[in-house]
Amino acid sequence: MRGVFMKKCNKFSILIAIAATAATIAAAVATAIVYFEKKRKDEEELEKYLDYSII
């Protein structure tokens, strides 16, 4: 009886670990996208500022 419970518990633990890993990867990808988008926007604003400051 105890062996059956442990097998179910192990499967559940593996499922939780996979879900946590997927969530971590998704969060890392979202963070990278936001970071690079902000960096691109800041560079565009700086370029625009420099263009207008020369005029």
What's the pTM?
Answer: 0.67
Which amino acid makes up residue 21? T
What angle (nearest 5°) sits at the alpha carbon of residue 29, between those of residues 42 and 32? 20
d(CA 10, CA 2): 12
Report helix, strand or coil for 26.
helix
Give the Cα separation of 20 and 14 in Å (integer): 10
pLDDT digits (tens, 9 = 90+) for 14-41: 999 999 999 999 999 999 999 999 999 9
Model pLDDT, residue 1? 47
